[in-house]
Amino acid sequence: MKKKNLIGLGIVAPVALGISGLTAASAKLYDYAFRRVDYVPETSADKQKYADDYYNYVNWFHSVSSEQWTLHPSDLENRVEATFIHAANEQAKTTVVIAHGYKGNGETMSNYAKMFYDMGYNVLLPDDRAHGNSSGDYINFGWIDRLDFVEWTHSVINNVGEDSKIIMFGVSMGGATIQMTSGENLPPQVKLMISDCGYSDLRSELAYLLKQQFHLSPTIFVPIIDAINHHRMGFSIDDVSSVKQLRKNTRPFLFIHGEKDVYVPTYMVDECFEACPEPKDIWIVPNASHAESFWMDPKAYQAKVQQFINKYLS
């Protein structure tokens, strides 16, 4: 975030704030980061050059035949929506469940959906809580979403069949969501998991962004933001840890990360990789920024993903 955006939030230097001022500033930061927005923010400048290709994928997403699936349909506060795209081969039993990024939705993963569709798989694209067509006022950064993704795997089994094979895939916040889902009690139909540029834990990610983009002290602001989140969402940001969840993972896991990621720094994938038991693999994409690995070379990206799938999807 640029300095002008910080000024736009009405936040001044911490030394000029009293206790009440720090609390008010932290609340503004919390709302900026956690409160839902009903639009997809503009992508970063380094990925604007891929805009035409992106919208071609979005057009495909809207043209292909799909179904709408729902979790908790009668619970307005916990209703979660997803788009299911059946493979061209109606007998296909492998489904990829795709987790989107921060302030995105299922549609924003159209490029990955088409990649897996072209590989012959069914695709399920949920809208996380506080995103897209799903309910919720505050973004939970994958912590509550991970439990929804466990439910989505059971929805796949119920709709596609007990002989389903399920792959879980996510990018950015979605990558962290899949990493955190890996530590849950998943059905045996879930065969492998892939995460692209997911963070290691929310406290570290918030601290990094506060320092690098806001030029604010994490030591001052993160504890107050945590208290606000605990009051509004019922959990601590310290609970939101890919590293802790990955230690419990029992499935083959592929980690992908851009070498020049300055939004989720590359050292975070090293922490996640170290925490994850074997079998596992890691691919650091040269010169790629955050969530750019696919766009730099879609064919190479698909080949790497297909190679991992072929190795472990038996």
Has residue 11 got a pLDDT over 70? no
Convert the pLDDT of each residue in 211-226 to its tens digit: 998 899 999 999 999 9
CA distance 120 to 140: 32
- Whole-prediction pTM: 0.94
Could you tell me the domains of the chain?
Answer: 46-201+240-312 (3.40.50.1820)
Convert the pLDDT of each residue in 102-111 to its tens digit: 999 999 999 9
Please, which residues have CB within 8 angstroms of residue 82's CB and are 6 or more apart in sequence?
68, 69, 70, 71, 106, 124, 125, 126, 127, 152, 155
Convert the pLDDT of each residue in 175-210 to its tens digit: 999 999 999 999 999 999 999 999 999 999 999 999
- Confidence category of residue 47, pLDDT binned at 50, 70, 90: confident
Residue 135, Cβ neighbours under 10 Å: how many?
A: 17
* pLDDT > 70 in the chain, percent: 94
